[in-house]
Structure 1
Amino acid sequence: MSSQSAFAAALLNPELPCPGGLSTWNGSDPATRFAVYRNNVMVSLVDALADTFPVVQALVGEEFFRAMAQVFIQANPPRSRLMAFYGHDFADFAGAFPPAASVPYLADVARLEMARVLAYHAADVDPLQVEALQSALADPDKLTSLQLMLHPSVQLIESRFAVFSLWAAHQGTLCLSTVDPDQAQAALVFRNGLDVVTQALVTSSATFVSALQTGQTVMAATDTASGIDPEFDLSHALALLLRWQLITQIITGVPCHEHKH
């Protein structure tokens, strides 16, 4: 292990000794100075995670969250100077963290909060004009192969828990005591201007959006959503995407997978 690697490893692991070869400008004890520096770094990283996952922290309490965050940091040190996305794997970690097993929805709430970060930092793409979609939908020759590209900020969280309501209750829009955590929910996260929007979606609409994101045609995505709910309303789902300007491109060519006959 190089001296830099040894320094980094010791910086995030208090069980490792102070690296050798350190000196201070004023002759003070290097080990003491290093311990202070190590503590400051850890506190800064824990604070960064707390900023990204405020609802997760509220659900388990500050003391528990900070202890959990320290374990995460030791196992997942930052690999980039860009700290905005640090904690991308925190949801998976929280879901497998034994002391948090009594809060089974914690991981999905963390995924929603990270989705908000990803949406905020996503690329900017101009929305499609409503008239262009109306024209494409009116052409029966194009309808069977019509695909829609969604804005890069669009994130979809589907959970067997009340992930949206749990998040919303900590924004002051719902009373937490009225939330049934075991109610399956889906949440759509996206950026509108400079604001990140989070809203609940019914299961069939979430299935439709997910199918579009995987490259299914509008017709195929509609069939998939209708399989979830025979009363799925395509017009309502498209109106939602148009209202929030989330459709950025129409593709009318025949998808590659449809050539495989």
Structure 2
Amino acid sequence: MSPLADLQHGFVRALLDPDEPPPPGLAAGAAPGAERRFAVYRNNVAVGLVNALRAAYPAVERIVGEAFFAAAARAYSGTHFPARPVLIDYGEAFPEFLETFPPARRHRYLADVARLERARLAAYHAADRPPLPPARLAEVAPDALAGLVLVLHPSARVLRSRFPVLTVWSMNAGILDPAPVDFGRAEDVLVFRPDWEVEVRLLSPGAAVFVEALGRGCRLGEAAARAGGEPGFDLGAVLADCLSAGLFCDLNLGEEEEDR
């Protein structure tokens, strides 16, 4: 490693870890007060990372409170450093961190609430694509429907939770009034942004399996077969809901059909 690279790495380590001594150049005391100013700068960086997490996960903070969230955010930022100079991307691994953060163990659903908030943020910044006109699907021959590949909007995200994640999030996002919650009830959620606003929808039985399969490039027939084992799955109703919501942005007939 070159002397400059070594100096830069040492500076970053000292900047992000309060237990590290100041960088060697500052420790030498070339400028009066340099160590004190570096400590202020280091604190500002730490506060900035905590605030970035606070902006990304407001419902999580409301659930656990400001002090708990600040402690969790500082613990996270001490081991997870920004990979890019864009703070909007910071905190992608925060949901997984919450699963292993000992003080959060009594909030077993907390990581999934964080995943929902991260999905909303990703959907908000996803690429724009016009929705698929229903007339295009109507033009497909009935015998070709099973081989159809429906392309999801770039913003689409599916979250499958063993907890009532949408209900909990809605109560802590000011959408629903607080009420007793059955934490034994699972909820599947669709997050996407067909126009300007991010939408969060509760998925009907089997719909999450269906949409996830389409997102992996499965053909319509295969996706329907995978979801068909879910009690209560209604292909016609789910497909109609997806089309009316603008979840699809394109379609093709797959390689085999196109080669015919």
CA–CA distance in structure 2, aligned partners of residues 232 and 163 of structure 1: 21
Q: For each residue in 1:60-80, what CA deviation from the matched residue of structure 2 results, as whole angstroms up to 9, or x when unmatched? A: 111111111111111111010
CA–CA distance in structure 1, aligned partners of residues 254 and 218 of structure 2: 12
1:45 and 2:63 are equivalent in the alignment: no
Aligned length: 253
CA–CA distance in structure 2, aligned partners of residues 236 and 171 of structure 1: 29
CA–CA distance in structure 2, aligned partners of residues 203 and 93 of structure 1: 29
1:162 and 2:164 are equivalent in the alignment: yes
Task: Give the drift of 1:182.
Answer: 2.5
Structure 1, gaps ≥5 residues long: 257-261
Query: Structure 1 residues 109, 99: CA separation in 2 closer, same or farther (over 3 Å shift)?
Result: same
Task: Give the drift of 1:181.
Answer: 2.4
Q: For each residue in 1:110-147, what CA deviation from the matched residue of structure 2 results, as whole angstroms up to 9, or x when unmatched? A: 111000111011111122111001222xx133122111
Tell me which of 30, 36, 40 is aligned to 2:40. Answer: 36
1:204 and 2:215 are equivalent in the alignment: no
Q: Which residue of 2 is the match for residue 16 of structure 1?
A: 20
Q: Which residue of 1 is the match for residue 96 of structure 2?
A: 92
Report matched runs for 1:52-131 at 5 Å: 52-131=56-135
Structure 2, gaps ≥5 residues long: none
Q: What secondary structure sits across from 1:161 in the alignment?
A: coil
Q: For each residue in 1:136-189, what CA deviation from the matched residue of structure 2 results, as whole angstroms up to 9, or x when unmatched? A: 2xx133122111010000011000011100111112232333222231001110
CA–CA distance in structure 2, aligned partners of residues 178 and 208 of structure 1: 31
CA–CA distance in structure 2, aligned partners of residues 222 and 58 of structure 1: 39
TM-score between the two structures when normalised by the length of structure 2: 0.91
CA–CA distance in structure 1, aligned partners of residues 256 and 79 of structure 2: 42
Q: Which residue of 2 is the match for residue 191 of structure 1?
A: 193
Q: Which residue of 2 is the match for residue 242 of structure 1?
A: 243
Conservation of the 8 A alpha-carbon contact between 1:166 and 1:181? no
CA–CA distance in structure 1, aligned partners of residues 256 and 91 of structure 2: 36
Instruction: Let me know the Cα RMSD of the aligned residues.
Output: 2.1
Q: What secondary structure sits across from 1:158 in the alignment?
A: strand
Q: For each residue in 1:176-206, what CA deviation from the matched residue of structure 2 results, as whole angstroms up to 9, or x when unmatched? A: 3322223100111011322111111123111
CA–CA distance in structure 1, aligned partners of residues 237 and 55 of structure 2: 35
CA–CA distance in structure 2, aligned partners of residues 121 and 105 of structure 1: 25
TM-score between the two structures when normalised by the length of structure 1: 0.91
Conservation of the 8 A alpha-carbon contact between 2:205 and 2:233? no
Task: Give the drift of 1:236.
Answer: 1.5
CA–CA distance in structure 1, aligned partners of residues 243 and 155 of structure 2: 15
